[in-house]
Amino acid sequence: MRERINWISNKMEPSPHEASLALLAEDQIKKVRGFHKSFPIYEPTPLVGLDQLAKKLGIKNFFLKDESYRFGLNAFKVLGGSYAVGKFIAQRLGKDISEISYETMISAETKAKVGDITFYTATDGNHGRGVAWAANKLGQKSVIAMPVGSSQTRLKAIQAEGAEATITDMNYDDAVRYVNGLAEKDPNGVMVQDTAWDGYEEIPSWIMQGYSTMAAEADEQLHDAGIARPTHVFVQAGVGSFAGAVQGYFANAYKEDCPITTIVEANVADCIYRSAQAGKLVPVGGDMQTIMAGLACGEACTISWDILKNKAKFFVSAPDWVSAFGMRMLAAPLRGDRQVVSGESGSVTSGLVATLMEDDTYQDFREALGLNEDSVVLVFSSEGDTDPAKYKSIVWDGECPSVK
């Protein structure tokens, strides 16, 4: 019998202030998008309308933002890492980010002014590759630590960007602490991490802002398709920075008419789900081994938690089979729908929506969400096949079956 999907509604008292939400205000979004648009390789990633799937599931629309096309890096994470690096360079130059373009950032003149920098981070793969890519473009160094059990394929992809990268014997959160110690000892070191803690919040806030480009693109593409707004947004979470960026964007854009947002985590690393249960931040320990490697984080980002606590409507703790089901469903679409290559951390929301609509075990959750024939659903496939061998093992060979 397969493991159960667990869910809760948000019953937490809202914070009296919403300081973190201001990070995703319209003026900030414009600066982020302007910076990313200055990249010669910038193009909005596709928003895929899966009309036949929507019809089968009994909803009005199913839209998927396909981040496998982002900057040729097969994942969305570079949006946050590149923007944080850009903000750091702008700060060093005494300028606003609106005055910094990609060409300015990578110029020899800028390199001479800012000097030597080594960017440090911990990652399961995608974030580290994005940071290494940005550092490489700047002619700077990067040092990347990966948690135990990380993919050799993802390690080699990071090293190919010129980084000094290793797989440690630690879990993700301990790897963060380890590499942060290295950065603190390096006079030229800068920690570029997408989680925040007391005393380390500025750069994580920049990373979260960087992710907002993806949500802004999706919203714009929906409008172009004649959709006023999504009724439901499902977004996955590791530390929660990605989820906070998406939730923050839509909360600011639609105010009291904000889509119903559901935060989805791997059940062995469900720190946000447990925090929502407890009404306060609760960490998860251990190795957190899951096929959803990008979500295997046990300590939530304090900045994004402030947004999710106030604005998210539901929280989900999902077993691995949900993601595997989503991967296979998107890889073998219904006739007329476009195929999407979605990796282990990218597909869990698609697998969840399909399960909720077709498995009456979760009728109570479906009804609580108000998912029906009028629903316009938006999900984000945050990565492609960043580990091709793992992708084939799941999609071709049936690893992690989703049968009841």
Closest CA to 24 of 293, 348, 310: 310
Distance of CA 228 to the CA centre of its chain: 24
Whole-Å CA distances, 219 to 42, 61, 74, 346: 17, 14, 21, 19
Whole-Å CA distances, 387 to 132, 298, 392, 393: 18, 22, 9, 10
Annotation marks residue 173 as catalytic = no
CATH number, span 78-199: 3.40.50.1100
Task: Return the HEC string of the chain.
Answer: CCCCCEEEECCCCCCCCCCHHHHHCHHHHHHHHHHHHCCCCCCCCCEEECHHHHHHHCCCEEEEEEHHHHHHCCECCHHHHHHHHHHHHHHHHCCCHHHCCHHHHHCHHHHHHHCCCEEEEECCCHHHHHHHHHHHHHCCEEEEEECCCCCHHHHHHHHCCCCEEEECCCCHHHHHHHHHHHHHHCCCEEECCCCCECCECHHHHHHHHHHHHHHHHHHHHHHHCCCCCCCEEEEECCCCHHHHHHHHHHHHHHHHHCCEEEEEEECCCCHHHHHHHHCCCCCCCCCCCCCCHHHCCCCCCHHHHHHHHHHCCEEEEECHHHHHHHHHHHHCCCCCCCCCCCCCCCCHHHHHHHHHHHCHHHHHHHHHHCCCCCCEEEEEECECCCCHHHHHHHHCCCCCCCCC
Confidence at residue 16, expressed as pLDDT on a 0 to 100 scale: 73
| Bridge partners, 141 (sequence order) | 118
Confidence at residue 127, expressed as pLDDT on a 0 to 100 scale: 94
The catalytic position among 31, 66, 124, 390 is 124
Q: Report angle CA 121, 201, 193 to the nearest 5 degrees.
A: 10
Confidence at residue 19, expressed as pLDDT on a 0 to 100 scale: 83
Tokens of 222: 């929906």
Give me the architecture of the 6-75+204-395 domain, per CATH. 3-Layer(aba) Sandwich (3.40)
Closest CA to 358 of 394, 317, 326: 326
The catalytic position among 31, 65, 66, 77 is 77
Tokens of 294: 């990008």
Q: For 144, phi and psi rounded to 5 degrees? A: -125, 130
Question: Which residue ranges does the chain devote to CATH 3.40.50.1100?
Answer: 6-75+204-395, 78-199
Annotation marks residue 77 as catalytic = yes
pTM of full prediction above 0.85 = yes
Enumerate residue ranges in the chain where pLDDT < 50: none
List own/partner pairs for 90-93 with CB under 8 A and 24 or more apart: none
Tokens of 239: 């530390």
Confidence at residue 1, expressed as pLDDT on a 0 to 100 scale: 79
- pLDDT tens per residue across span 323-374: 999 999 999 999 999 999 999 999 999 999 999 999 999 999 999 999 999 9
Confidence at residue 7, expressed as pLDDT on a 0 to 100 scale: 98
Q: Is the dihedral of CA 157, 214, 339, 265 positive or negative?
A: positive
